[in-house]
Amino acid sequence: MAFGRKPEVEIIKEDIKVWECSSDDCNCWVRDNFKSSAEEPTCPICHSEMSATTKSLQAIQNHATAK
């Protein structure tokens, strides 16, 4: 019986700009709207440079950004 089942929520994916660590030993990445205020951020784990790219991710909003 399926009386207790909740309908599945559709996950909406978008192409999101992200920053990926350039180090081969690190697989860290950060969404663009969650990065620090620096123009080109450094990796929070290994402190290497990061490069901009895109990923297909679930769309979420960062409500903590300064206005």
CA distances from 5 to 12, 45, 48 (A): 21, 41, 46
Give per-residue pLDDT as tens, 4-13.
Answer: 788 888 888 9
CA 10 – CA 63 distance, rounded (Å): 22
Q: What does the pLDDT read at residue 54?
A: 96
Give per-residue pLDDT as tens, 16-59.
Answer: 999 999 999 999 999 998 887 778 889 999 999 999 999 999 88
CA 33 – CA 66 distance, rounded (Å): 11
Residue 61 in this model has a pLDDT that exceeds 80: no
Is the pTM here over 0.85, yes or no?
A: no
Task: Categorize the per-residue pLDDT at 66 as very low, low, confident or very high, splitting at 50, 70 and 90.
Answer: low
How do strand 29-31 and strand 13-21 relate by DSSP bridges?
A: antiparallel
